[in-house]
Amino acid sequence: MTDLPEAFVARMRALLGAEAEELFAALQRPPLVGLRVNTLKIAPDELRRRVPWQLVALPWCPSGFVVQRAAEQEADGAAPFGTPGQHPWHAAGRYYLQEPSAMAVAEALDVQPGQHVLDLAAAPGGKATHIAALLGDRGLLVANEVERSRIKALSENLERWGARNVLITNEAVERLVQRWGARFDRVLLDAPCSGEGMFRKHAQARAEWSVQQIQGCAARQARILEQAAALVRPGGLLVYSTCTFAPEENEQRIATFLRAHPDWRLEPIPRQPGFAPARPDWVDPPLPELVHAVRLWPHRLAGEGHFIARLRRAEQAEVAPPAERERRAAGSRLPAELLAAWQAFARDTLRVELPLAQVAARGDQLVLLPEALPPLDGVRVVRAGLWLGTRRPGRFEPAHALALAVRAEDARRTHALDERSVVAYLRGEPLREAGADGWLLMTFAGAPLGWGRRVGGVIKNFYPHGLRRST
Ligand code: SAM
């Protein structure tokens, strides 16, 4: 077996018997490219018709697809922008590239629009963007990530997604329990794990793998699973997921948790083609209800390896009520000048009205707060809500995030980029076009990409420096 750790091969043979050879064969094949549509911005069918790659629907995620033959199409020139990651609609947040099995996780959370959902280990934001779409931009998504170095990617991905009711935090789970208690309708713990399910995608996961690593991960998972559960309201759901095969990090974590917490039970995850039940016999003593959790094996379906368990907290569970309830978000009184600058910009540039009661000032910046927020004191907040823009001397400069959260028809002036000029725009180059001076929403094939500002026939480029492309 090339490249797979020997001890891993031995462990999987002991667990799976002859089936292990099918797994090893699958791990030698190239990984699939998955694409999940941002239903806040476009319907999956429409996107499928309008992108230059062939997309094959996934049974377990209505907005998810496998990208077929992207590489060949790129080579024969059928895909004008190259790979799906290079297409301008990716920069516009119309889709997220995510391996297909990972798309089953947020679906298992049974998110309903308007709920309050907490994603505890959110970076880089695959499942968080999925949850934001399922919420339909109502309620609240709290996307938390403890690792500071991973926050930038999370923020950028959520910004591109254009969701408004999002709070991004950078906290230890323990701290969130202390501050917030049992208040969320849904909590996702996509736990840090040994990553065996990603062996064919990430060489690093193979290189770092060891039995000791599995044991270390299992101990950490046990701790954060306890904490995650304390954040779920009575009657609410907790989804625990990993991208590894090791029973120590999957069935054994769930069994230990359930045996210690009689007011929790496993709920069945709707079965989809290729999903396999988790293994009650991989726990000592066996726990029959583990068949309600699922395993996604790369040799049984079009995706990488995943484990997903859905846990329901009893309605009657006794919990200490949160010290403070969610508050309807209300902006602090806006400085009159800042408010006037925003209103002048909004009148001139936008056709939509944003709820002023939720607009708040942070120095010279304005943000649109989510509909409701948990108490934020004592919590490291990275971003609360949608950045609207900044007051500059004599004018208001809109935020990139605002461009990605509105529709083309929401702007009074747009500039439709073509296949050539969109490349120049994403590189940060100025463009020329006669017309009235002022802010322009720059679009490609109907999708807003960012801002430009026309003065005397030259469109100054406001695509953020950090996102500009070099080719
Ligand atoms: N949910 C993410 C997504 O879909 O894009 C992937 C999350 S990744 C599997 C696990 C995350 O757990 C990492 O971002 C990692 O930084 C974070 N993590 C590591 N140690 C942690 C801890 N002690 N508590 C909470 N999260 C932790």
- Nearest residue to 297 (alpha-carbon basis) of 189, 209, 196, 192: 196
Token pair of 275 as six digits: 């999903």
Q: Is it the case that residue 71 has pLDDT exceeding 70?
A: no
Across the chain, mean pLDDT equals 94
3-state SS class at 216: helix
Q: Is the dihedral of CA 341, 449, 400, 433 positive or negative?
A: negative
Count of helix runs (H) and strand runs (E) in the chain: 15, 25
Catalogue the active-site residues.
243
The best mutation among 99, 146, 196, 221 to test binding of ligand 1, ranked by most ligand atoms within 8 Å of the C-beta, falls on 146
342 burial via Cβ count (<10 Å: 0-12, 13-18, 19+): buried
Report whether the peptide linkage leading into residue 124 is cis, meaning its omega lies within 30 degrees of zero. yes
CA 199 to CA 31: how far, in whole Å?
10
Provide the β-strand partners of residue 118: 142, 187
Q: Can you give the pLDDT at residue 317?
A: 87
pLDDT-above-70 percentage for the chain:
95
Please report, as a single letter, which amino acid is at residue 399: A
Return the C-alpha torsion angle 161, 166, 168, 171, nearest 10. -140
Q: Can you give the pLDDT at residue 1?
A: 43
Q: Compute the average pLDDT of residues 81-90.
A: 93
**Nearest atom of ligand 1 to the alpha carbon of 125:** 5
- State the distance from the centre of ligand 1 to the C-alpha of 433, rounded, in angstroms: 46
Q: Compute the average pLDDT of residues 246-270.
A: 98
Q: Can you give the pLDDT at residue 331?
A: 59
- pLDDT digits 0-9 by tens, 353-390: 998 889 999 899 999 999 899 999 999 999 999 999 99
Task: Please spell the DSSP secondary structure of 101-149, one letter per residue.
Answer: GGHHHHHHT---TT-EEEESS-TT-HHHHHHHHHHTT-SEEEEE-S-GG
From residue 41, how far is each of 63, 104, 126, 149, 163 by CA, in Å? 12, 21, 16, 29, 10
Contact assessment for residue 334 and residue 259, using Cβ atoms and an 8 Å cutoff: no
Token pair of 340 as six digits: 């006037």
- State the distance from the centre of ligand 1 to the C-alpha of 235, rounded, in angstroms: 25
- State the distance from the centre of ligand 1 to the C-alpha of 449, rounded, in angstroms: 29
CA 157 to CA 176: how far, in whole Å?
23
Q: Can you give the pLDDT at residue 129?
A: 98
- Going by pLDDT thresholds of 50, 70 and 90, the confidence category of residue 318 is confident
- Going by pLDDT thresholds of 50, 70 and 90, the confidence category of residue 321 is confident
Token pair of 123 as six digits: 């970076």
**What domains can you pick out in the chain, each with its CATH number?**
106-313 (3.40.50.150), 407-471 (2.30.130.60)
Question: Is the Cβ atom of 124 under 6 angstroms away from ligand 1?
Answer: yes
Provide the β-strand partners of residue 249: none
Q: Compute the average pLDDT of residues 58-83.
A: 78
- Nearest residue to 388 (alpha-carbon basis) of 371, 406, 414: 406
Q: Is it the case that residue 82 has pLDDT exceeding 90?
A: no
Task: Please spell the DSSP secondary structure of 42-107, one letter per residue.
Answer: S-HHHHHHHSSSEEEEETTEEEEEEEESHHHHHHTT-STTSSGGGSHHHHTTSEEE--GGGHHHHH
Taking the alpha carbons at both ends of the chain, their separation in whole angstroms is 39
- State the distance from the centre of ligand 1 to the C-alpha of 121, rounded, in angstroms: 4
**Nearest atom of ligand 1 to the alpha carbon of 130:** 4
- Going by pLDDT thresholds of 50, 70 and 90, the confidence category of residue 394 is confident
* Token pair 């119309």 in the structure block, residue: 94
Question: Is the Cβ atom of 150 under 6 angstroms away from ligand 1?
Answer: yes
Question: Is the Cβ atom of 225 under 6 angstroms away from ligand 1?
Answer: no
**Nearest atom of ligand 1 to the alpha carbon of 223:** 23
The best mutation among 101, 129, 145, 221 to test binding of ligand 1, ranked by most ligand atoms within 8 Å of the C-beta, falls on 145
Q: Is it the case that residue 250 has pLDDT exceeding 60?
A: yes
Contact assessment for residue 159 and residue 184, using Cβ atoms and an 8 Å cutoff: no
Question: Is the Cβ atom of 224 under 6 angstroms away from ligand 1?
Answer: yes
- Going by pLDDT thresholds of 50, 70 and 90, the confidence category of residue 455 is very high
- State the distance from the centre of ligand 1 to the C-alpha of 242, rounded, in angstroms: 10
- pLDDT digits 0-9 by tens, 416-440: 999 999 999 999 999 999 999 999 9
Question: Is the Cβ atom of 146 under 6 angstroms away from ligand 1?
Answer: yes
Q: Can you give the pLDDT at residue 257?
A: 98
- State the distance from the centre of ligand 1 to the C-alpha of 316, rounded, in angstroms: 30
Other beta carbons less than 10 A from residue 8's beta carbon: 22
From residue 84, how far is each of 36, 39, 55 by CA, in Å? 11, 17, 11
- Nearest residue to 228 (alpha-carbon basis) of 271, 277, 172, 269: 172
Predicted model pTM? 0.96
Residue whose Cα lies nearest atom 3 of ligand 1: it is 126
Residue whose Cα lies nearest atom 22 of ligand 1: it is 146
> What's the chain's Rg over C-alpha atoms?
24
Q: Is the backbone of residue 70 left (phi > 0), alpha (psi -120 to 50) or beta?
A: alpha
The best mutation among 127, 147, 240, 308 to test binding of ligand 1, ranked by most ligand atoms within 8 Å of the C-beta, falls on 147
CA 317 to CA 121: how far, in whole Å?
25
Q: Can you give the pLDDT at residue 356?
A: 87
